[in-house]
Structure 1
Amino acid sequence: MQSISVSDIIVKKAAESRIDQVDFDKLVFGTVFTDHMFECDYINGHWQQPTIRPYGPLTISPAAKVFHYGQAVFEGMKAYKDDQGKVFLFRPDENFNRINKSSERLAIPEFPREYFFGALEELLRMDNDWIKPGLGNSLYIRPFVIASEIGVSASAANQYKFMIILSPAQAYYSGDVSVVIAEKYSRAADGGVGYAKAAGNYGAQFYPTRLAQEQGFQQVIWTDANSHQFLEEAGTMNVFFRVGDKLLTAPTNDRILDGVTRKSLITLAKDAGIDVEVRRVEVSEIVEAAQQGTLKEIFGAGTAAVVSPVKAFSYRGTKYDLPAQESSYAIRFKKALNDIQYNCAPDPYNWRYPIN
């Protein structure tokens, strides 16, 4: 890797901010973007001089390989502002390591750590006013890489574009969520790219999710591709099951994303003295627990919603409603995680990353 420095980043400021045009009380998640973005190209075996410039359209050839062979990976992370105006990231090392792990799986070159963190910190300083304080408010951060080389030969590209864009976000609430357990379609297969945040993973989910929505469900709980006997993820999130007072979740492997929220919740639950089992979870045991009344909660875990409770699930045409819990794990650990993210509580894990 070539010698690099954060001072190499060229900064081109927007002539004027667009922030006054935004109604922060009516944000639609992921549709409004801040004044600046980061861009860096990989050419001739090296990452070139990086740039922060005003947010705007790209000019890219229709023959760029990303459009033909799907070499694209991304990350999702957030910045938070406390009541004193201090800004924090949450476990950004995990996102940096994972985007490079995803890139490796798709034959994309590793991105330099100095550029990643240098770009993030400078972007957040420049667009600081877009980060609103208050529980639920945040700035969603989307780093991504695409293959930009021109050509339609079926081979890995030699040129790439790494970018970071920022989007202000409010508290994410999707309403009461009902899910259907997948019996035919799968999110990922052994030996595939399920563990990577590859763009194609998500594109392939849209059709079976639409079928579920046509039946009155909001999301799909994915099962393993080989037998459809084991529960793996919920929509675009990792998934947890509370049976009695025990918390169950599937282990990460080459089909399941190593979610930052997932591993954080596991740590919080274990430290709270809760019995957490990270193991393969069978559809049959969850259905049996629902029938016996010992299934208390199902919830998804991910960056956008943090924790998304499930009120009901369907399997083989039978719907199972979940009872409301006075001492909900989902609510309890979402609050514990938010308190750390928003600097409202001590951070014994050193998960907060301050932006100075």
Structure 2
Amino acid sequence: MTQPLLSLSLEELTAWVQTQDQPAYRGKQLHQWLYQKGARSLLDITVFPKAWREKLADYPIGRSAIAHCRTAPDETRKYLLQLADGLIVETVGIPTEKRLTVCVSSQVGCPMDCDFCATGKGGYTRNLAAHEIVDQVLTVQQDFGRRVSHVVYMGMGEPLLNLKAVVRSLQQLNQDVGIGGRSLTVSTVGVPRRIKELAEHQLQITFAVSLHAPDQSLREQLIPTAKNYPIAKLLEDCRYYVKTTKRRLTFEYILLAGVNDRPEQAHELAQHLKGFQTHVNLIPYNPISEANYKRPQAKQIKQFSDILHKHHIENSIRYSRGLEANAACGQLRTQHQPATTSPEPA
């Protein structure tokens, strides 16, 4: 199988052009056109000889096609991207005056089956390759006509179940696309052994763990796969990550009305996190049609935050954008392809 050019580094692209009887400097040109200018075909690269471009017109670059794009009133855009095999993956572009953040998917679907999340309701199909993750960023960058500043792995899928490709894509976004490591965020609900494995890569990224409950029983209700990963062991691995990388870790906590937003649960969460080098993102729930959970009232949200602050647990309330386009946290879903549930990926 031919390896798409978007999966290659500068050194690998230089070696490839030489196999095509082209001078080595063409590798740098190709790298720039792929990762900075977003070329979708070798025909686009006008600095290359016309005859060579035409000869390799069908050589795979590794770019997807925009099957659909929906824009919310706040200018957030949700894209349905069609991959080379016809499957659809979702990605979101979130603009502000100073930033353009892309929320990327790491899998087609998701096997984690979180009870409050639309993506998990559609089942899991396959992992994404690294170039398919990088492509999402380049697609949003081109469509907005401005440089992407931040990338969050919070779309479809569980990144740590596709760790090899996710690490590779992080390296490419940093080294090839030029996005700073600390502007790249990987979010996980927790996969046994994978947090320690990620720590060993010593990436200068932001790492976020979706906790969503202060006790094991409730966490298993919300995240069925948590039965394989006791909360005490999860927090132990999180401490290992902080110690190994010397970087602060973020915890994400979706607030569900009457489920995990009570004052006593805030106190219990604070006890777990005392002495931890961490920050907590409190995320008021984004409703989906497939679940009956509700968003807490503003006073409950503030009370929960205030209790954490009293325990000296740094936290902030993060209201998601893109609600009107079903593009906010937990709302991504595979609408344009049949759900195919496969065994959990290795």
Q: What TM-score, normalized by structure 2, do the two folds share?
A: 0.25
Higher strand share: 1
